[in-house]
């Protein structure tokens, strides 16, 4: 296995090539295009000159489910290079939409912590405690679990149904309010298309569900002055088309769902300058601590169980 510094250098060079020439532009990325699998990049990149190396590190809090947690591994590896201090708080099986049980592959499961079955406000309370302690300048949210079949208000539903959409939009509205309650910019990240190696295609792998999720995220962000959308889905799966690698960079773990550390590093090269440009001189004072002890590591223990090399 190659050592981490070598891998980071190789991926950083690949990212510079794949993301193309950098130029200062808008922070919110536009709607996904209908193009097929192209180079790994997004339009209107922001120059690395947006990074303020003489300033205190940009505090970034990443929340969501295990997709968020896996993304945080590569983001964490590149954080220091962009003067970012990242807290990776992605937790398996817990997203903004979850209320009742969820259908995970072929089994029915309760949501994972910090979600609590049939007590959706417990997640918001936990997020509030994290935000109060850490005082992030930016909060990132991504949750593939929002694409799962799940029980909401005692009935099975999924994204695209009116009942689900109304619930999810209300949850996004409340979640943005909590995550931005100390002054942070809130960035909702679209969900890349997944492709699990299962006997029958899984509904959450449908590109249509990823597209619907992106539309709802944009509606929610439009209602908040300090919320925006980052098109992670378009970066990793352009045109809502799954791919496991691009230009020699491995993007997805063997399960077809989680992202590799290399993918997170490439995302960091595009994302971090955008976050610095988004925040500008507007920093959140105080904080820097964590609830109940030290800041969690950017590589979660459970990530080691995934085949992501």
CA–CA distance, 218 with 244 (Å, rounded to integer): 26
Q: How confident is the model at residue 8 (pLDDT cuts 50, 70, 90)?
A: low
* pLDDT score, position 247: 86
Q: What is the pLDDT of residue 18?
A: 46
**Rounded to 10 degrees, what is the CA torsion of 176, 168, 268, 36?**
-140
pTM above 0.85, yes or no: yes
pLDDT at 39 over 90: no
* Residue 64, helix vs strand vs coil: strand
Per-residue confidence (pLDDT) for residue 4, from 0 to 100: 55
At residue 30, the pLDDT reads 29
Which has more confidence, 101 or 6? 101
| pLDDT band, residue 33 (cuts 50/70/90) | very low
pLDDT band, very low/low/confident/very high, at 29 (cuts 50, 70, 90): very low
Predicted confidence (pLDDT) per residue in 191-234, tens digit: 999 999 888 889 999 999 999 999 999 999 999 999 999 999 99
Report yes or no: 252 and 307 within 8 Å, Cβ to Cβ: no
What phi and psi, each to the nearest 5 degrees, are found at residue 146? -70, -10
What's the 3-state SS for 146-195? HHCCEEECCEEECECEHHHHHHHHHHHHHHHHHHCCCCCEEEEECCCCCC
Distance CA 267, CA 261 (A): 10
pLDDT exceeds cutoff 70 at 250: yes
Q: What domains, with CATH codes, occur in the chain?
A: 4-279 (3.40.50.1110)
Q: What is the DSSP letter of 296?
A: P
Cα end-to-end distance, the chain, whole Å? 8
Consecutive H or E run containing 108: strand 107-109
138-158 residue pLDDT tens: 999 999 999 999 999 999 999
């Amino acid at each position: 296995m190659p050592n981490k510094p070598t891998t980071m250098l190789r991926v950083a060079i690949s990212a510079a090539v794949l993301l193309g020439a950098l130029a200062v532009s808008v922070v919110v990325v536009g709607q996904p295009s209908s193009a097929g699998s192209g180079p790994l990049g997004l339009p209107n990149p922001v120059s690395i000159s947006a990074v303020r190396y003489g300033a205190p590190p940009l505090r970034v809090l990443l929340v969501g489910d295990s997709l968020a947690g896996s993304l945080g591994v590569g983001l964490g590896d590149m954080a220091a290079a962009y003067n970012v201090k990242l807290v990776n708080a992605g937790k398996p099986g817990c997203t903004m939409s979850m209320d009742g049980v969820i259908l995970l592959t072929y089994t029915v499961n309760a949501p994972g912590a910090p979600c609590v079955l049939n007590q959706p406000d417990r997640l918001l309370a936990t997020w509030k405690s994290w935000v109060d302690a850490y005082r992030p300048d930016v909060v990132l949210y991504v949750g593939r679990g929002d694409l799962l079949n799940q029980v909401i208000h005692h009935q099975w539903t999924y994204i695209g149904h009116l009942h689900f959409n109304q619930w999810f939009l209300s949850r996004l509205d409340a979640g943005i309010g909590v995550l931005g309650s100390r002054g942070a910019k809130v960035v909702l990240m679209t969900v890349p298309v997944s492709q699990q190696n299962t006997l029958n295609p899984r509904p959450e792998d449908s590109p249509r569900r990823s597209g619907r999720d992106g539309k709802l995220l944009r509606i929610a962000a439009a209602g908040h002055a300090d919320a925006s959308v980052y098109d992670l889905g378009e970066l990793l799966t352009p045109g809502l088309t799954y791919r496991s690698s691009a230009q020699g960079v491995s993007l997805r773990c063997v399960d077809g769902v989680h992202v590799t550390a290399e993918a997170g590093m490439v995302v960091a090269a595009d994302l971090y300058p955008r976050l610095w440009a988004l925040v500008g001189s507007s920093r959140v004072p105080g904080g820097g601590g964590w609830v109940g002890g030290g800041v969690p590591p950017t590589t979660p223990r459970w990530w080691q169980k995934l085949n992501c090399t």
